[in-house]
A and B are shown apart, each in its own frame.
Chain A
């Protein structure tokens, strides 16, 4: 079986059997090992990636389901050496301890902040509900999400101002 999809903006072709999970396609075939497996049953969220922009547990999605679609993984966020503001916020806030769950949390945060640029506490907690962390107690992770929201808002504002200047 051959599956073609886009990963982090690049075309990818994966060969495997029909039961191959998207997680295995990413880790074993494409060597994108930033996406982690913590339970293999959709409970821990360590394997969270975005499929056509929506967060999914890649351990519960067949590779075949990604045919023709767009997948975004943790490796697709940083702009070269520059971290994505969400990644930077996780480092700055002390939201990373062992770091195994971190890629999943970052991807869930990415989806949240795209749809809710200024999320309430409740919206943050609900968005992170599907991701488990055993090290941090979540306090710094929630803090990181808030910091990232502020940072992204400032970036957007800066871009809007730059555009306004260009038009003027």
Chain B
């Protein structure tokens, strides 16, 4: 492919292809259609964290006018499955049923009602009488692992659980070299344990699905999803109907961040439609979204680092315990990623050990969340690196420079640890981390500010930094396909299973195709995603779209390009090899040209007729990491414990940014989400496991006033395996704020925070503790 200097469409911040419709408020989302004929579906959630359902009496509910169907474990399929929308066979356990005879968290599904009105459905929910046999509940990692703990998945028919009798969903253990000996041989050893909280994605559009039968009685699911093809497969499996009978349409999606990589509602809506023949509409309220959608896996992660006096790491150990709530969706893979997306960064350490377990609790269900375990791993890793730099008397920047992975290097972790199984060995082919660090340090004013502890009244300033990597898709597992067909006016249909959930993937995929075809991006008509119309793609997750789906699009475009040239060559009386596609024309060696519209008209209507079209796929053989250097200046109010992020700098290497404005937008959104996660966002629970703050009033996500001065710097590189030199950039930004802010707080006031979020209460408590004489602690 062309070198980046010659790109015409790629590298331009072209306008979002769906932007105009969105700013006009056109009916693009699931709920934006006429719902006058639907059955409204509502779900009854469990009031108990752990209980057996002894009896459900829905006779009174069924008498309520307008109630059409009541779904319970007694009249729905009982197939065990996972709600995690992953490749098949899924690495998550089959431990869920549509409706079970046991409830495992407050809010777990008990029953559902379909009625003519929302009011009737709600009244019916209140009229359902459920007799429960309450069971002792497990409300923390430690309780789950305790001897004789209540067994959360004691049913016999679940599969894929590592050790159900001990509440262990997954267990990962990999070794490189001999880590114990490595620590003995090290001159300096530091160890730190950090804990992260229950946090929510909170897309502004909650989960929502609209289902109906088409004129051939096929089930159509219009759903707000990141994984339309996985939805089709899992709904077919759960309801016991053929894949052929289901069509999944993904309209515009109002944000996902991982929570919509889950099949949460489609089975219920689909079942109502199949049973009644009626269209159904099921949408989670904000409170239901908080309780019954997905969250980030809370984790306790211990990191131990051993280094030589010269500041080169010799041994790294990471031990992670992940709370995967009542069901094991993404339990294994998020856990594995905690190690696989962090440890290769410091490949100088010859000895490494990653050990982790994911355990069940009777709390809400974590799932995929942007960052996917790496976020939880980088907190202790980059905290420990900061501590190590202090012990060695080295600048934190210098310590990282001496240890991070570089072009031409590899890490044995790539091969040892993958997506819940062995990984894939790879050599890093693009890495501008060194430059990211330099540019970021300059922008934040590292040299002047580090250790200066500038005071402004009660506010003390400090700066901190961290570095990180992520991946670009799941190598040898992810698969994307794209179809491009040409129209006789020289426009093209680009049909992709890749799932634009607001990320802008429709636009950047159009740019990639347009670059190959020598047309503006506006000549591409993008359709994503519809299982009847678009080719397969695993969906929007694992930072896969730009890299994996982008490559599929590039290949499909190259196929179409070849066909165009073969038609144009006789028109221009020139050889195929001598032609170029430029400015919507095929151009010959002497400058003779023919428009793409003429080329397509010839192929369609006059000579050697055929449809100019191609489909291509991509299964990546590796997962090139984007790299990121984060710098933050914070101010800590030593009287109240409040932490303010004053300036945040993120210098990122995502290869060639296909659309710089959108790449920056991905980073900005991820960083601000990460700042919320670092400072304020936390799901709180009562002593019985009930979510205490299921509203956007009580669960504080950042607003416009909470955003610091934020600089995103795209540090260009060229990834030779990527489409047009690109790597993915969707997730990495969210990993930065926690360790960067934590390290900045330490620089400002000398306290190490090891539990998120860094609320004023926690900061103040640590400050008070720090001020006491050592003996009193």
**Chain A residues within 8 Å of B, Cβ to Cβ:** 27-28, 31-41, 43-44, 46, 73-75, 77-78, 83, 87-88, 90-92, 94, 96-103, 106, 124-126, 128-129, 131-142
Contact = CB atoms under 8 A, between A and B. Distances in A.
Contact of B665 (A91, A124, A136): A136
Kindly list the 9 A-B residue pairs having the minimum CB-CB distance in the complex, ordered from nearest. A34-B25, A98-B502, A100-B254, A99-B22, A137-B672, A74-B25, A137-B668, A43-B696, A33-B32
B707 interface: yes
Given A38-B204, A92-B15, A97-B502, 4 more contacts: A91-B19, A98-B203, A125-B705, A137-B669
A160 to B, nearest CB: 27
Nearest to B26: A34
B704 A131 contact: yes
A73 B695 contact: no
Contacts of A142: 704
B1 interface: no
B202 interface: yes
B16 A46 contact: no
A129 B704 CA distance: 6
B257 A134 contact: yes
A103 B25 contact: yes
A31 B34 CA distance: 7
A99 B285 contact: no
Nearest to B285: A40
Interface string B77-117: 00000000000000000000000000000000000000000
A134 B31 CA distance: 19
Nearest to A77: B24
Given A90-B23, A97-B665, A138 B286 contact: no
Given A126-B705, A140-B665, A135 B23 contact: no
A91 B32 contact: no
Contacts of B696: 39, 41, 43-44, 132
Contact of A135 (B24, B669, B695, B704): B669
B705 A135 contact: no
Contacts of A94: 13, 16, 661-662, 664-665
A91 B671 contact: no
Given A43-B696, A46-B204, A102 B672 contact: no
B20 interface: yes
A42 to B, nearest CB: 8
B25 A96 contact: no
Nearest to B668: A137
B25 A33 contact: yes
Given A38-B286, A74-B25, A98 B35 contact: no
A98 B206 CA distance: 13
Interface residues of B, number: 57
B506 to A, nearest CB: 12
Contacts of A102: 22-23, 25
B29 A100 contact: yes
B187 interface: no
A41 B672 CA distance: 23
Given A33-B27, A135-B255, A137-B669, A99 B502 contact: yes
B28 interface: yes
A92 B14 CA distance: 9
Contacts of B707: 137-139
Interface centre among B35, B501, B502, B705 (most CB of A within 10 A): B502
B457 interface: no
A72 B32 CA distance: 18
Given A44-B696, A90-B23, A98-B253, A125 B704 contact: yes
19 contacts: A34-B27, A38-B206, A40-B285, A41-B286, A44-B204, A83-B24, A90-B23, A94-B16, A94-B662, A98-B205, A98-B252, A99-B28, A99-B252, A100-B205, A100-B255, A125-B705, A134-B673, A135-B669, A138-B672
A97 B673 CA distance: 14
B18 interface: yes
Contact of A83 (B23, B34, B257, B705): B23
Contacts of A27: 31
Nearest to A19: B119
Given A83-B23, A133-B204, A134-B204, A91 B15 contact: yes
Interface string B700-721: 0111110100100000000000
Contacts of B298: none
Given A40-B286, A103-B25, A91 B20 contact: yes
Nearest to A90: B23
Contacts of A99: 18-19, 22-23, 28, 252, 254, 502
B737 to A, nearest CB: 11
Given A36-B204, A39-B695, A97 B24 contact: no
B294 interface: no
Given A36-B205, A41-B695, A94-B16, A129 B703 contact: yes
Contacts of A131: 703-704
Interface string B269-299: 0000000000000000110000000000000
Interface centre among B22, B26, B662, B695 (most CB of A within 10 A): B22
A74 B28 CA distance: 14
A34 B24 contact: yes
B236 to A, nearest CB: 28
Interface string B727-757: 0000000000000000000000000000000
Nearest to B13: A94
B518 interface: no
B690 interface: no
Given A36-B29, A75-B24, A96 B19 contact: yes
A125 B705 CA distance: 6
A102 to B, nearest CB: 6
B302 interface: no
Contacts of A83: 20, 23-24
Given A31-B34, A83-B23, A134-B673, A98 B204 contact: yes
Nearest to B698: A43
B201 interface: yes
A119 B662 CA distance: 26
B546 to A, nearest CB: 15
A100 B26 CA distance: 11
A98 B16 contact: no
B23 A96 contact: yes
B669 to A, nearest CB: 5
Interface string B488-516: 00000000000001111000000000000
